[in-house]
Structure 1
Amino acid sequence: MTPLVRRSPAPAPRPPEGTITTMTDHSGTGSASVLELLGTRIAGVRHQDLTHHGHTVFHTALVDTVGVAYAGSAAEGSRLTRAAAGPLSPGPSLVLGTADRVSALDAGLLNGVSAHALDYDDTNAIMGGHPSAVLIPAALALAEEQGSSAGQVAEAYAAGYEAVIRISRAVGTSHWDKGWHSTPTLGVLGAAATGARLLGLSPQRCATALAIAASSAAGLQANIGTMVKPLHVGRAVREGLFAARLAAQGCTANPRALEEPRGFLDLYSGPGRYELAAAVPGAGDSTLEINRCSNTVKEHECCGSTHSALEAAIALHRKRRFAPEDVERIDIVVDRRCLPHTDRPVLPEPLAGKFSLQYVVARALLEGGIDSAHFEDEAYLSPRIRQLMNRTRVSVAAASWSGDVRVPAEVTVFTVTGGVLRHMAEDSPVGRTEVLHPPHLWEKFSQCVGRVVGQADVSRVVSVLERFADFADVRDATRVLEVCRPTERGRPGSPAAGRGRS
């Protein structure tokens, strides 16, 4: 993906719907830094700036992220994170999938881990990662502490989205190519922007929050396929919110932490490997990123870079029912952007299967798809699946395929009798309407929440999120989201009675 700098004529005196005011230099040098420009942008986001498109992006992100966080709260990595965190500070912020309320920072950590635990959360092609697993937990946790409205949560998400997408445009693919896990390394800046907007910080202090967060950017691709990957996200949420709080208290940071030598861009992308201007709107470009960009809601509970190959294998399964002994070889051809993190012919643990082209394609060819059980316990050791994985070859397409949302993949099965079956999936971009209004969003949400609560409670949670925009205090919404585990007091799946927390 090539970062673009959008430039258009100077804005009219009365900006149209979905725009914000121009930016101001706070440095005193006569030349504002990138973070100062972004800080003014973030501080100026208002609920009314979001167009219908922007509101839809936010609401879809909210529904999808809360759903996958409910399901992810039961994952082993989420449980271990909570156990390792020790005694948690009591507070007003809900731990999704439970009835427990803790401090905003602790809720941000735990809900960030849960939202990414299953790798089922939304993705963004510009970021090359998962924006909402960071931004939604950050916004909800701090909004509960502040008593913010649903409209202010939408503002905060838009502000975080602005920071993430703008900086993603600047780093392009170089950041990922160096081995960084983009979701936390870029997401921590988004969480800081989200927190800064909810705290109502000045433009200068918004810039400071981003500069502080830049020193907390962390996450290695080497840990993809383990429980540390969702931990990256939880820590990004916590550190981003902490950065915003530090800025609110008057903590100082270098406003040029992004572009200075030995700053974020030099270290995380490399000198000469980023486009600084792409992080800053051009003259007259006051359109918020949330009003022109979209996220992709996942249909499969595994790495998005495997989805096209997985769907190609599902299509082949529909044409023919395969047995391991029928298959001589499987060839998978993918775009270079899908590798190397998904080329995993050997799996050391169950979670690694979510990031293995060989594994998900083998599962789909034999069983017609994947489900959560395929990434649990000893499912990854199945002899039938391993037979096919051992006969699978992964290669890069000769030319880079292009796609606005997803890149295509081709799966070819060579049978022992000399037959050849081939299918290419996603050879054209997904339609804009389908991305903005995912047809299976609520079905996915209900299925995810249903892993934790009973069907009656699923309907109750759906009702709250359908009318989320109506809540003047987000805490009134999250009270309805409280649930008891079967091991807690009260009826499984019901709100915890008598806890007296708000």
Structure 2
Amino acid sequence: RYYELFVLQKAVRPAWAARGLHQSALEVLKCPPPEETVTASFGRFISEMKPQHLSPVTLHRSKRMVLDSIGVGLVGSTTDVFELALQHCQHVYAPDDISSVYGRKGTRLSPTLAAFVNGVATHSMDFDDTWHPATHPSGAVLPAVLALADMMPAHRKLSGLDLLLAFNIGIEIQGQLMRFSNKAHDIPKRFHPPSVVGTLGSAAACARLLSLDPSQCSHALAIAASLAGAPMANAATQSKPLHVGNASRLGLEAALLASRGLKASHVVLDAVTGVAGLSAFYEDYLPQPLHPPGDGGHMFLLEEQDVAFKRFPAHLGMHWVADAAASVHKVLVGVGPGSVSPGEVKDILLRVPRSKYIDRPLPASEHEARHSFQFNACSALLDGEVTAGSFAPAAMSRPDLLALLSRVRVEHPHDNPANFSLMYGEVRVVLNGGDVVTGRCDTFYGHWRNPLTSESLRRKFRHNAGAVLPPERVEELMEVVEELDRAGDCRALLSQLQ
């Protein structure tokens, strides 16, 4: 009977097996022709977008992103992790004096290495902008397009509007890709999103700045997909800023390789059965074509939803508990100067989303502290706010702060999902006398639902850029960014970054 069954199986053996093909290979053979793929639609979109498709709202918001990203990059150039990355590039690679480095007058690197170190600077303090679904959009794109603009020959003059169009395309590609997955809406668990969609966003922006044709733009995205990905295990370490630096650098490399004719999969963004493209990162990935602009133009996602700008350098989730704890501080101390005494506090309860990598009871480094609900809540409770100085070694080792940290408990309510659009932060403090003071934050100041005013954003920029530039240069740089869409040559911006 076994023999009879074997013969029957041989008799009905499918054609794909008879030809020596695995079934997954058959699925590749069934792929739609390149011109009909989702990947091809993204390539056409990148190639065919024009400056007139940028609405006044999109231009305004993207210039705010450029200003903030440059500011956090400049202050990030003062950090240890930036210095290590810069030394590595200077010592390991042959010098190639083309592209500017944030905050280092006279220092230039090859375009890809400049994109890398400036991307590292942007994320070195976790001070850069955040979008929803969750990613850091600007840091992966802006350093790449700035480095590429530095690389362009003198006769190829790029306007400020050219730069903004490429930047916005890089942001748009990230936003569109993130919306193809429901899991992307939650605080990540497996991989850091900018290391995936940021790499493709950088490739898209650079492909546009290089004026690649639709097919080359598609290949740039596919090449970038082979260079993407970083695990969340390196969150809260010095290696996390490398994720954004690599996204910027490798996206630029992908576009340059595509410009030389290197080809890759024409279905990398598609949902082809048996072939993993972006679905390797998002299991529920369900893509849709991205239609090029018609007569009515294209409305960028940035027009529908602003980004979040951080008031202090820490993971975005920290801003909810910091604001909630600051409101408790205000009740206990009042509006004026003063500090909460740990001797008055019996118990501190944080009601926050469940997210393991930002639940850190006793952080041992500044990078862990930037990813600790407990640390940021206690810092705000003690001082009434969290600032860049809160993560200095002396501030982190204060006895009063350590005493408060020892009294923290954490709960994860079912109605508080790990989602930047739906979460809240609640801090409940029980005093020794039995009184209970509770603070709650549903939308912190700086969130896309409650954006920073222009004055607040400019104040943040002055503080950050002023760490490395003289005051007059800081003011000039703000004006250059404000007028960027009307600048005939973007080199006016490039010259201001050192």
Q: TM-score, normalised by structure 1?
A: 0.84
The separation in 1 between residues aligned to 2:35 and 2:486, in whole angstroms, is: 42
The separation in 1 between residues aligned to 2:201 and 2:293, in whole angstroms, is: 23
- Single out whichever of 385-394 and 403-412 deviates more from structure 2: 403-412
- Single out whichever of 430-439 and 220-229 deviates more from structure 2: 430-439
Kept in 2: contact 1:179–1:221 (CA 8 A): yes
For structure 1, list consecutive stretches of 5 or more residues without a partner in the other structure.
1-26, 483-502
Name the counterpart of 2:347.
Answer: 329
Name the counterpart of 2:484.
Answer: 468
The separation in 2 between residues aligned to 1:257 and 1:294, in whole angstroms, is: 28
Counterpart of 2:181 (choices 165, 171, 178) is: 171
Distance 1:374 1:314, change over 3 A: same
Counterpart of 2:234 (choices 215, 223, 230) is: 223
Q: Deviations over 1:57-101 (max 9, x none)?
A: 210111000011010000110001111222453233211111222
Is 1:363 the counterpart of 2:379? The answer is yes
How far residue 348 of structure 1 moved from its aligned partner, in angstroms, is 2.8
How far residue 102 of structure 1 moved from its aligned partner, in angstroms, is 2.2
Is 1:298 the counterpart of 2:314? The answer is no
Q: Deviations over 1:2-26 (max 9, x none)?
A: xxxxxxxxxxxxxxxxxxxxxxxxx
Name the counterpart of 2:440.
Answer: 424
User: Percent identity of the aligned residues?
Assistant: 28
Name the counterpart of 1:6.
Answer: none
Aligned-partner residue type, residue 116 of structure 1 = H
Q: Give the alignment of 1:279-318 within 5 angstroms.
A: 280=290, 286-318=298-330
Kept in 2: contact 1:309–1:361 (CA 8 A): yes
Name the counterpart of 2:137.
Answer: 131
Name the counterpart of 1:186.
Answer: 197
Q: Deviations over 1:313-354 (max 9, x none)?
A: 111111113211211111111234xx2221001213222101
Q: Give the alignment of 1:31-46 within 5 angstroms.
A: 32-46=36-50
Is 1:64 the counterpart of 2:77? The answer is no
How far residue 121 of structure 1 moved from its aligned partner, in angstroms, is 0.9
Name the counterpart of 2:23.
Answer: none
The separation in 2 between residues aligned to 1:49 and 1:89, in whole angstroms, is: 39
- Single out whichever of 213-222 and 291-300 deviates more from structure 2: 291-300
Distance 1:143 1:283, change over 3 A: closer
The separation in 1 between residues aligned to 2:408 and 2:453, in whole angstroms, is: 35
Kept in 2: contact 1:327–1:416 (CA 8 A): yes
Q: Give the alignment of 1:84-233 within 5 angstroms.
A: 84-85=88-89, 86=91, 87=93, 89-99=95-105, 100-126=107-133, 128-146=134-152, 147-174=157-184, 177-233=188-244
The separation in 1 between residues aligned to 2:408 and 2:361, in whole angstroms, is: 8
Counterpart of 1:373 (choices 383, 389, 392) is: 389
Kept in 2: contact 1:131–1:164 (CA 8 A): yes
The separation in 2 between residues aligned to 1:116 and 1:234, in whole angstroms, is: 8
- Give the 3-state SS of the residue equivalent to 1:413 in structure 2: strand
Counterpart of 1:449 (choices 444, 465, 471) is: 465
Counterpart of 2:87 (choices 83, 101, 110) is: 83
Name the counterpart of 1:9.
Answer: none
- Give the 3-state SS of the residue equivalent to 2:102 in structure 1: coil
How far residue 167 of structure 1 moved from its aligned partner, in angstroms, is 0.6
The separation in 2 between residues aligned to 1:55 and 1:101, in whole angstroms, is: 29
Aligned-partner residue type, residue 329 of structure 1 = D
The separation in 1 between residues aligned to 2:34 and 2:493, in whole angstroms, is: 45
Q: Give the alignment of 1:214-293 within 5 angstroms.
A: 214-258=225-269, 259-260=271-272, 261-270=274-283, 273-277=284-288, 280=290, 286-293=298-305
Kept in 2: contact 1:53–1:292 (CA 8 A): no
How far residue 424 of structure 1 moved from its aligned partner, in angstroms, is 0.8
The separation in 2 between residues aligned to 1:376 and 1:162, in whole angstroms, is: 36
How far residue 398 of structure 1 moved from its aligned partner, in angstroms, is 2.1
Aligned-partner residue type, residue 256 of structure 2 = R
Larger radius of gyration: 2
Is 1:458 the counterpart of 2:474? The answer is yes
Name the counterpart of 1:29.
Answer: 33
The separation in 1 between residues aligned to 2:252 and 2:34, in whole angstroms, is: 30
- Give the 3-state SS of the residue equivalent to 2:118 in structure 1: helix
How far residue 426 of structure 1 moved from its aligned partner, in angstroms, is 2.1
The separation in 2 between residues aligned to 1:282 and 1:39, in whole angstroms, is: 9
Name the counterpart of 1:320.
Answer: 332
Kept in 2: contact 1:171–1:265 (CA 8 A): no
Q: TM-score, normalised by structure 2?
A: 0.84
What RMSD, in angstroms, separates the aligned Cα atoms of the two structures?
A: 2.5
How far residue 104 of structure 1 moved from its aligned partner, in angstroms, is 1.3
- Give the 3-state SS of the residue equivalent to 1:331 in structure 2: strand
The separation in 1 between residues aligned to 2:196 and 2:400, in whole angstroms, is: 38
